[in-house]
Chain A
Amino acid sequence: MRGDISGRRRESPGCTVEKPGSGATAIEERDEEMYTAGIDVGSITAKAAVFKDGAVLGTKVIFTGYSAGDAGRRVYEELLGELGLDASSVSRIVSTGYGRNSVTFASKAMTEIICHGAGAHFLNPHVRSVIDVGGQDSKVIILNGEGRVSDFAMNDKCAAGTGRFLEVMARALEVDLADFGQLSLVSDEPSRISSICTVFAESEVISLISKGEQRKNIIAGIHDAVASRIAALAKRTGIRPPVMMTGGVARNIGVVKALERKLELPIEVLESAQTNGAIGAAVIAARHG
């Protein structure tokens, strides 16, 4: 299933999609005239989404940089500017992400686990598991029929298998991270990356480069290694279909495909994967009026 960048829902095979504002989703109590916003300040990027009448009006992604609080304000103001909205017309803001408590002007802070669950449920109510892989965290979120989080797990202590891991590898390979996905898909023989530690895995990649291994195979091997880490977390948490992947790493088709193979399950990715947490935050803001 593909939605447009704003995260609006479209019909997808095998999924019944409700019309905005109708049916049993949790947004039914919202005020029709109200704008709400979600701001997701992650370790690498800050995302914002504006929501009205059961639909996402727009989203925005910027780099977080040094100050989480400044990034949250900037991404929000820039998005409002693009949409031609005044801050006074937004009745409620929910912040999320690791920098959620730095967004001091938000009405409420919620964890990104709850917001990714809410975003995924809003965009496709049939989703029962969400795999969110961001800059430094990977999370597996199990949803019940009402879209509430029933169980979750996240990596701790180690950022192997996350976006930062891929960034380090892209630097070592001198390849634009945006090209990683497509390059890996044409690999005929993925390399084996056995190190779990990011630093050691980078050394392993450098050894492979010096041995003359092709980039596409190394990248495919990196994706396999990342997918193994995430799959282990997913299996431990009791993942169940339909599965959606969100977060910045979901934009990497190579990781998604590798993960589908490891889990033996299809994985749904929307164009709005990276802004899903911000969308979920905006949906929650609308729900709580």
Chain B
Amino acid sequence: MDVLDELRKVADNPYGYARRLKGEGRAVIGYFCSYTPEEIIFAAGAHSMRLFGTHGEISRADAHLQAYCCSVVRGALEEALSGELNFLEGAVFPHTCDSIQRLSDIWRLTTRFKFFADVVLPVKLTTESSRMYMVEVLERFARELESAFGAGITGEKYLDSIRTFNKLRAGMADLYRLRSARPGIVSGSDFLAVVKAAMSMERRACADMITRLAGELGKKGPSSNAGGGKRIMLAGGVCDHPDVYRLIEESGGVVVWDDLCTGTRAFEGMIREGGNPLEAITERYMTRLACPAKHRSLTERGERLVRDAKEHKVRGVIFLLLKFCDPHDFDYPYLKESLDREGIPSMLVELEHQLPPEGQLRTRFETFMHTI
């Protein structure tokens, strides 16, 4: 089977895949956010599985959460309560946004998974004290994993894990570069499938596959629709909707870059291979592109957005924000102004677990593509 097919298969049915892994004796741990130190979970012998919420109806979760929580948080609790996530040993809650923190408490009160961990990360990512604090937080998380899964994490295991994640991220970086150089080389929905697989699949196997995929695509000639669509960058939080990519393409656009949690923010930055592994993992978080729930400077995200948009020669930026995602909503006006100042057009689409009616979304995308 073709590599892309295999990755697509995992992305289409990540829970089926996770159940099989569990059947093989692997502990599966759910996570919600790219600030989850997955490298430690892998080193402890467990498997980290990103949870995106549901595309179905939400009813059980609303008994515990306010309607103004985002659909990822509501959807994840829904699936935990419905039994859909019974393959999990437990879940990790990094301290990022308020809703994830509240979900952490409610999850513990309402579900019966064996493993549970809060990873209380610092908010500021610039100071020496936050760096030292973060290393301690990661040490504590490692101890929790060790006592839950009964194995000590040796230096060798850390190094193997860091190398695996570095390989995976290097492969993703190659794919990103290829897509920017030859837009349409992989369709937007296939690219999302690769991203999802990289967050769901057994990481060693996945790193191999993504490396192979990048190698194969690198040898391929220019894509059939190269130069056809207008170059678009996506910015925002979590986007788990292949249809968004399809509609952008059908409206005359082609995504060449992103600043998404389900995108570059998860894959940017390599971890130093050598020295204290937890310090090395901390260093990546301190230097990686920050999410709006973290802080490095007042203007860094805007400057970076403009820089990426220019570097990848995009005609326009589409913000995909989850409805009720406070951190992103607070950042949006200033990010838009940063783009406006540089004459880079942008549009905003609010997403939930279910997309707005296709006709409306299509009208907005088509109009945007026409105006840029």
Nearest residue, chain B, Cβ from A144: B371
Please measure, in the bound complex, the distance between the C-alpha atom of A2 and the C-alpha atom of B350, giving whole angstroms. 38
Q: Quick one: which of A151-207 are within 8 Å of B by CB?
A: 152, 154, 156-157
- CB–CB B371/A112 < 8 A: no
Which A residues from 64 to 123 make CB contacts under 8 A with B?
98, 110-114
Max chain A CB contacts within 10 Å: which of B350, B364, B366, B367? B367
Q: What separation, in Å, do the CA atoms of A268 and B356 have in the docked complex?
A: 31
Does B360 make an interface contact (CB < 8 A)? Answer: yes
A40 at the interface (CB under 8 A from B): no
Give every chain B residue within 8 A of A149 (Cβ-Cβ): 367, 370-371
A111→B350 contact, CB < 8 A: no
Residues on the A chain within 8 Å of B367, using CB: 111, 113-114, 149, 152
Instruction: Please encode chain B, from 352 to 363, with 1 for each CB lying within 8 Å of some chain A CB and 0 for all others.
Output: 000011011001
Minimal beta-carbon separation of A185 from chain B (angstroms) = 33
Name B310-358 residues within 8 Å CB distance of A.
Answer: 350, 356-357
Chain B residue nearest to A115 (CB atoms) is B367
Decide if the interface of chain B is mainly helix, strand, loop or mixed. Answer: helix
Residues of B within 8 A of A113 (CB): 363, 367
Q: What separation, in Å, do the CA atoms of A152 and B365 have in the docked complex?
A: 11
Kindly list chain B residues whose C-beta atoms are within 8 Å of the C-beta of A114. 367, 370-371
Contact pick for B364, options A148, A150, A154, A157, CB 8 Å: A154
Whether A224 is near chain B, meaning CB under 8 Å from some CB there, is no
Q: Which residues of B contact A111 (CB under 8 A)?
A: 363, 366-367, 370
Chain A contributes a number of interface residues (CB within 8 A of B) equal to: 14
A137 neighbours in B (Cβ, 8 Å): 360
Q: Which A residues are in CB contact (< 8 Å) with B366?
A: 110-111
**Of B350, B356, B363, which contacts A112 at CB under 8 A?**
B363
Does B350 lie within 8 Å of A156, measured CB to CB?
yes
Interface residues of A in 240-263 (CB under 8 A from B): none
Question: Which of chain B's residues has its CB closest to A149's CB?
Answer: B371
CB neighbours of A150 from chain B (8 A): 371
| Distance in angstroms between the alpha carbons of A150 and B360 in the assembled complex | 19
A154 vs B371: C-alpha distance when bound (angstroms): 15
Specify which chain B residues have a CB less than 8 angstroms from the CB of A157 in the assembled complex: 356-357
Report Cα–Cα, A155/B363, bound state, in Å: 12
Interface string of B171-195 (1 = CB under 8 A from A): 0000000000000000000000000
Q: Is A156 a contact of B360 with CB atoms below 8 Å?
A: yes
Q: Once the chains bind, are B371 and A156 in contact (CB under 8 Å)? A: no
A111 CA to B364 CA, complexed, in Å? 8
Question: How far is the CB of A161 from the nearest CB of chain B, in Å?
Answer: 15
A98 to B362 alpha-carbon distance, docked (Å): 10
B360 cross-chain contacts in A, Cβ below 8 A: 137, 154, 156
Query: Across the interface, which residues of B come within 8 angstroms of A156, CB to CB?
Result: 350, 356-357, 360
Q: With the chains together, A98 CA to B366 CA distance in Å? A: 12
B322 to A: closest C-beta gap in Å: 14
Task: Tell me the bound Cα distance from A114 to B363 in angstroms.
Answer: 10
Q: How far is the CA of A114 from the CA of B364 in the complex (A)?
A: 10
State in angstroms the CA–CA spacing of A113 and B359 once bound together: 13
Q: Which residues of chain A come closer than 8 Å to B364, judged between CB atoms? A: 152, 154
**Chain B: minimal CB distance from A155 (Å):** 8
Docked pose: A149 CA to B345 CA in angstroms: 11
The answer for the CA separation of A114 and B370 in the assembled complex, in Å, is: 8
Q: Encode A111-142 as 1/0 by CB contact (under 8 A) with B.
A: 11110000000000000000000000100000
Q: How far is the CB of B246 from chain A (nearest CB, A)?
A: 15
Chain A residues within an 8 Å CB radius of B350: 156
Q: How far is the CA of A112 from the CA of B359 in the complex (A)?
A: 12
CA distance A285 to B366 in the complex (A): 17
Measured CB to CB, the nearest residue on chain A to B352 is: A157
Chain A residues 33 to 54 lying within 8 A of chain B, measured CB to CB, are: none
Distance in angstroms from B10 CB to nearest chain A CB is 32
Q: Report Cα–Cα, A110/B366, bound state, in Å.
A: 8
* A150 CA / B316 CA spacing, docked (Å): 12
Query: Which chain B residues in 242-296 approach chain A with CB under 8 Å?
Result: none
Check if A110 sits within 8 Å of B370, measured CB to CB: yes
Query: What is the minimal beta-carbon distance from B349 to any residue of chain A, in angstroms?
Result: 9
Query: How far, in Å, is A22 (CB) from chain B's closest CB?
Result: 26
- Write out the residue numbers on chain A whose beta carbons fall within 8 Å of the beta carbon of B356: 156-157
B29 to chain A, nearest CB (A): 35
Q: Which residues of A contact B359 (CB under 8 A)?
A: 98
Q: Whose C-beta in chain B lies nearest to the C-beta of A110?
A: B370
Residues of A within 8 A of B370 (CB): 110-111, 114, 149
- Shortest C-beta distance, B15 to chain A (Å), equals 28
- Besides A137-B360, A156-B350, 15 other A-B contacts (C-beta < 8 A): A98-B359, A98-B363, A111-B363, A111-B366, A111-B367, A113-B363, A113-B367, A114-B371, A148-B371, A149-B367, A152-B367, A152-B371, A156-B357, A156-B360, A157-B356
Binding site for B on A (CB under 8 A): 98, 110-114, 137, 148-150, 152, 154, 156-157
- Sampled A-B contacts (7; CB under 8 Å): A111-B363, A111-B366, A111-B367, A137-B360, A149-B371, A152-B367, A157-B357
The 10 closest A-B pairs by CB, nearest first: A113-B367, A111-B367, A156-B356, A111-B366, A149-B371, A111-B363, A98-B359, A114-B370, A156-B360, A157-B356
